[in-house]
A and B are shown apart, each in its own frame.
Chain A
Amino acid sequence: MPGIRSQACLLLLALGLSLPVGASERTLRVAVLSKSPPMSFVDAAGKLAGFNVRVAHALCDVMSVRCELTAMPLERVVDAVAAGEFDFAAVSLLDTAERRSRILFSKPYYRSSSIWFARPGVEPGAAGIRVAAVTGSAQSRYARAHGWNIVNVPHHAEFPALLTERKADAVLLPMASALTLRQEPSIQSLGLVTTVIQRPELSGEVCFGIDPQNPELRDQINKAFDRIKRDGRFDRLNSEYLPFRLQ
């Protein structure tokens, strides 16, 4: 009898120890970009910051889950989410057919366009020019599709150096990143001109990418987006990082 009692006590103890762990909120693995201000970057304190990072935290807060953010270059994002390494990617992904075939998309959370940043007189598609774009981006894909001479870089943050060092004649990048690049002091003297490229492949709705094996998470994220857009959190973050409304 004492043996049975002690076993029962041990069982209860094990349950008591395991329950808090089991009952605690689940953790989602979230992919973010590391050097893509103002959407996602590492701040002066060494912490991940930016609009997308804060939106990811807000979504996790609404879903009552803990998020574990991992920074990576854009090139790896779709592959990693498609492989199930991450539950979702808090990365502004243009909704393209190629991506949609591999991962799930959340509902669009804003609409973006692409900006051509170049020296004066350097026009999109001109022969012989070198166009920089982030590997894995819609802009890179567009440039490749049009047979442009591409300089691929892993992060948006590398564009100023490319331009000042004349390793690229132009850059093609998303609207929000262009805002930060435009403010970069090192390029102010270059007299760069900007052109908004109104091409369907380069503008449109932007979504988060979600593990293709987890449609329930997509529904949860969509509801969470509705929630933070209704309660004002989304707009506050928008005001914090960008001069105008993204949506």
Chain B
Amino acid sequence: MQRQSLIARLSRRAWPAGKAFALVGGAFGCTFLALLFWLAVDQHLVLDGSQRLLDHAVPATLERFRLARNVEQLRLEGEHVFSGRTPVARQQALFIVSLLASHPAVLADARAAGLAGEVERFLSRSMHEGMSEARHAEWAMLASRLTLLADDVSSEGVNLATADLHRMSATMLQSRSKLLLVLALVAVFVGGFVFLIRRHLIQPLQAIDQALSALGSGQAVTPFAPASMLEIRAVERAIGQLREVMQENETTREQLERLATTDGLTGMFNRRHFLAVAEEEIKRAQRYSRPICVGMADLDFFKHINDSHGHASGDLVLQSVAEIFARTLRHSDWGCRFGGEEFAFVFPETGLREAHRLAERLRQSAAASQIALADGSRVDITLSLGLADASSCPLEIALQRADAALYDAKQQGRNRVVTAPVGHATGETARQPFNGDAPPSVDTAST
């Protein structure tokens, strides 16, 4: 249990990457050195064997060959003793036989010494007593024994190196097995090392890369599983902090954008943003020769509402009107609070006839609604609207013409929609201030 908990503690613990991999590398280095030493023992044995072969076996083999050569020379000189052309040559051959028979190198081998002595005695006897057929036959046997002895000595010489070669061969085989084992261990270790690097460095780095990509594209970041390397954990923490900061910044940006583009009271676009949007819509419509209209609307008798019920009620009325617009307008239409109780619209892809129906629907919606005020009273409202075609003139001109139409609607008694005639001159429709706005009918019945 204690061991398990120790392993669990070790695996949960975060390690500094440098130290951890230095530890693993050190363990590998020590193991590898030990294995190399293990292999070096065999190498040392092989080197020892080859040195022994060179220093002892080869010289001893050569000595055996030399002895074999002397035994064979003994036979040859014996033949000369029998077949020498002159007595001097035969004497000389016998002399060499006697030298060979007493040569320390020949005497060092018991078999060679015995046979050489036998040969020398036989040849001396034959030299002094004469060469008979029986002696020739005996010499033939002795010569045969000399040849066989020379063969035996040569074979012994060859076999001297065999034991050493067998030993070296066995060591080499053992060394090969060890080498294979070492290679297998190295392969396992390298595999393990690669696994550790992948598990504890590459995968966390890939997760970090994904998280940073997600942050860059504004997607939600998946929380990290705690990494085992301290450095990786530090980066993950930093990414978490970065994500929070970026989220705060995004919220702030959105708030600022909303503040910059909307009217604080009604939530509709403000005039500046509306003008930018409308400008773009008109440019697009004119580029592709598509119909587009603008409209201006004014809340009838709003001053009277403010005066009668206070500015708070006036604000409430404006908010209610904004809600009516939101309900009634299409998704493709843009509207804004142009100023005070005045509103402006742009209707993309819409001709004057269609725009008029839309404006009429707005007017009817407004006229059909009763707005409940804070004091319990209800107030009826009406809208006057002016429309103008914007498909062939700049926004400013179109708005002036819509404003002139709105003026006409006011002049004609309010609560109506007036469309500016196409090609109507701007200067001729210059708006004049209204006077003598009659109060709207107010339903004062309590609710």
Residues of A within 8 A of B (CB): 110-113, 115, 175, 178-179, 182-183, 188, 194, 196, 198, 203-205, 226, 229-230, 235, 243-247
Contacts and interface: CB of A to CB of B under 8 A. Distances in A.
A182 B95 contact: yes
Nearest to B68: A245
Contacts of A115: 99
A183 B86 CA distance: 13
Given A182-B92, A230-B58, A247 B105 contact: yes
Contacts of B77: 243
B339 interface: no
26 contacts: A111-B104, A111-B105, A112-B104, A113-B104, A175-B99, A179-B95, A182-B92, A183-B92, A196-B102, A198-B102, A203-B104, A205-B104, A226-B55, A235-B66, A243-B73, A243-B77, A244-B69, A244-B70, A244-B73, A244-B74, A244-B103, A245-B66, A245-B69, A245-B73, A245-B105, A247-B66
B62 interface: yes
A245 B70 contact: yes
B404 interface: no
A246 B105 contact: yes
Given A245-B66, A247-B63, A204 B98 contact: no
B56 to A, nearest CB: 11
B215 to A, nearest CB: 70
Contacts of B59: 226, 229-230
Contacts of B92: 182-183
Contacts of A198: 102
A114 to B, nearest CB: 10
A113 B102 contact: yes
User: How big is the B interface, by class?
Assistant: 20 to 34
Contacts of A194: 95, 98
B67 interface: yes
Q: Which of B70, B95, B101, B105 has the most CB of A within 10 A?
A: B95
Contacts of A179: 95-96, 99
Contacts of A247: 63, 66, 105
A115 B100 CA distance: 12
B88 interface: yes
A156 B286 CA distance: 136
Contact of A196 (B55, B98, B108): B98
A182 B54 CA distance: 38
Given A243-B73, A245-B67, A246-B105, 17 more contacts: A111-B104, A111-B108, A175-B99, A175-B103, A178-B99, A203-B104, A204-B104, A229-B59, A229-B62, A243-B96, A244-B96, A244-B99, A245-B69, A245-B73, A245-B105, A247-B63, A247-B105
Contacts of A235: 62, 66
Contacts of B99: 113, 115, 175, 178-179, 196, 244
B97 to A, nearest CB: 10
Is chain A's binding surface mostly helix, strand, loop or mixed? mixed
A29 B59 CA distance: 29
Nearest to A189: B88
Nearest to A196: B102
A186 B103 CA distance: 26
Q: Which of B59, B66, B67, B108 gathers most chain A CB within 10 Å?
A: B66
Top 3 nearest A-B pairs (CB, nearest first) are A111-B104, A196-B102, A245-B66
Nearest to A234: B62
A188 B88 contact: yes
Contacts of A203: 104
Contacts of B101: 196
A113 B73 contact: no
A3 B411 CA distance: 119
A113 B108 CA distance: 13
A113 B95 CA distance: 13
Interface in B240-259: none
A45 B92 CA distance: 27
Nearest to A230: B58
Contacts of B103: 111, 113, 175, 244
A111 B109 CA distance: 13
Nearest to B72: A244
A120 B62 CA distance: 39
Chain A CB within 10 Å, residue with most, of B67, B69, B96, B99: B99
Contacts of B55: 226
Contacts of B91: 182
Nearest to B69: A245
Contacts of A111: 103-105, 108
A190 to B, nearest CB: 12
Interface in B12-66: 54-55, 58-59, 62-63, 66
Nearest to A181: B95
A246 B63 CA distance: 10
A175 B103 CA distance: 9
Interface in B263-297: none
Contacts of B108: 111
A204 B107 CA distance: 11
A91 to B, nearest CB: 19
Interface string B97-136: 0111111110010000000000000000000000000000
Contacts of A188: 88
A111 B108 CA distance: 10
Contacts of A243: 73, 77, 96
Contacts of B98: 194, 196
A96 B91 CA distance: 32
A220 to B, nearest CB: 16
